Amino acid sequence: MKKSNLVKSFFAVLFLVLLLVSCRVDSFKLTLPEGVEVVSSEKLDLEVIPDGKEVTLKVTIPENKKLGSFTVNEEAQSLDADNRYTFKMSADTTVAVSFVDITYSLTLPEDNSVSVFSPSGLDLGSVLTGTPITLEVTIPATKVLGSFTVNTVEQSLDDSNQYTFTISQDTTIAVIFVDTFSLTLPADGVSVTSPENLNLSSIPDGTEVTYRVFIDDEEFEGINELKVDNAPQDFVYEYEAESNQVQSIFVEKTITMDDNHTIAVSYDNEKCIPNFTSYSIINDVVTLIDVQYKIKRYLIIPHFVSKIGANAVVNGGDFMYIVIPDGVTSIGDRALSNLNGENGIAYIFIPDSVTQMGENVFDGSSGLTQIHCGAESQPAGWSANWKAGCNASVSWNQTRQSW
């Protein structure tokens, strides 16, 4: 009887053990390195994670580093775009991660015209991201910097021909040098207006240089010749005004530097340019008024004049030539009167741009014997008495002579 109870007790215990074993859930250990953490809405005990539990890991990549490797139980795995990895626990699991420095290459011109000023000893093939770098450009003699580019984007150098940047990608430096030329100007009367602060002894090839030749208001002298490298240049007179008053009269020209160039200008003491007080400016229309002049052989009316006002040139003295430019549209009453020079007015030409002519324009100009007109016949806007008081003959459909 006792033996039978014993057997029963043994089998009862065995049943309980088997029952417990059949109901037990396996659990596993998760080992993580620094920089890897579990992302979960519930707190997990990494020592005891149930079999089949889904686990999401997040990798924090240090600054200036990138992921070298990520392994789970020594098998390489990939992270998603958020540096996360999700898996289910099925065994004890060990995660390992490694990081490597982010480096970039720095490519400089092969001619050694660009060098690293700092830091010293830099490995150009493996530059740690975020490294500040200062480059220095050596500009060859007789040349100037044409362009300096960093990854095809043009950049500026400082006064020491240096450029500083922080590397954040593979970087290629390119530099172009251009030839330079000199521009020689006369000692007086000519100046460069653009570019500003130009070094005349070292001007880059292809530079467009604008220069001005000024008329001296006291001497009244017109330009005789303007030459570039001994080649005569065409020119027209221009002006600058303030408060409707002419402040300067000049000739402005532009030259493209493709060689060394020399500008020369000569003035003619027989050519008179009316001085600055001889002009009235209303609504940008320049009218020649009470002309102030010095007696010379030629009276040169500047190209910017649109109208010659009434009584503009009175008692013109010994002028032998009066040059009225194309573009003048009207000449007022008695505008050119009393031209009675000892030698007479040898030549006057009225361009066909003149559509309005007042009365007695040449009144009392006994020295004038011939008037040449560009119009084919007398324009309708000319007064019937435009030549009254003057015995000069008139020729129509004429062309301007040089003077």
With 90 as the cut, is the pLDDT of residue 199 above it? yes
Q: Are 116 and 131 in contact (CB under 8 A)?
A: no
Token output for 65? 């580093």
| Exposed/middle/buried for residue 365 (C-beta within 10 Å: 0-12, 13-18, 19+) | buried
- The whole-angstrom separation of Cα 107 and Cα 255 is 38
| Domain at 183-271, CATH from 2.60.40, 1.10.10, 3.40.1350, 3.30.450 | 2.60.40
- Average pLDDT estimate for 106-123: 96
- Average pLDDT estimate for 53-70: 94
- The whole-angstrom separation of Cα 59 and Cα 83 is 6
Residue 339 is predicted with a pLDDT of 77
Residue 314 is predicted with a pLDDT of 76
Token output for 123? 């490995």
Q: Are 247 and 200 in contact (CB under 8 A)?
A: no
Kindly report the CATH number that applies to the domain delimited by 282-403.
3.80.10.10
Q: Dump pLDDT digits (tens) for 149-194.
A: 999 999 999 999 999 999 999 999 999 999 999 999 999 999 999 9
Contacts of 9 (CB under 8 A, 6+ apart): none
Helix (H, G, I), strand (E, B) or coil at 22: helix
Q: Are 249 and 214 in contact (CB under 8 A)?
A: yes
Q: Which of these, 180, 186, 207, lies nearest to 196 by C-alpha position? A: 207
Residue 22 to residues 13, 25, 56: CA-CA distances in angstroms? 14, 9, 29
Q: Is the peptide bond before 140 cis (omega within 30 degrees of 0)?
A: no
- The whole-angstrom separation of Cα 210 and Cα 171 is 38
Residue 165 is predicted with a pLDDT of 98
Domain ranges of the chain: 25-101, 104-177, 183-271, 282-403
**CB neighbourhood size of 243 (10 A):** 6
With 60 as the cut, is the pLDDT of residue 63 above it? yes
- The whole-angstrom separation of Cα 12 and Cα 25 is 23
When pLDDT is cut at 50, 70 and 90, the band that residue 22 belongs to is: very low
% of the chain exceeding 70 in pLDDT: 91
Helix (H, G, I), strand (E, B) or coil at 219: coil
What's CA 52's distance to the chain center, in Å?
Answer: 67
- Average pLDDT estimate for 377-381: 96
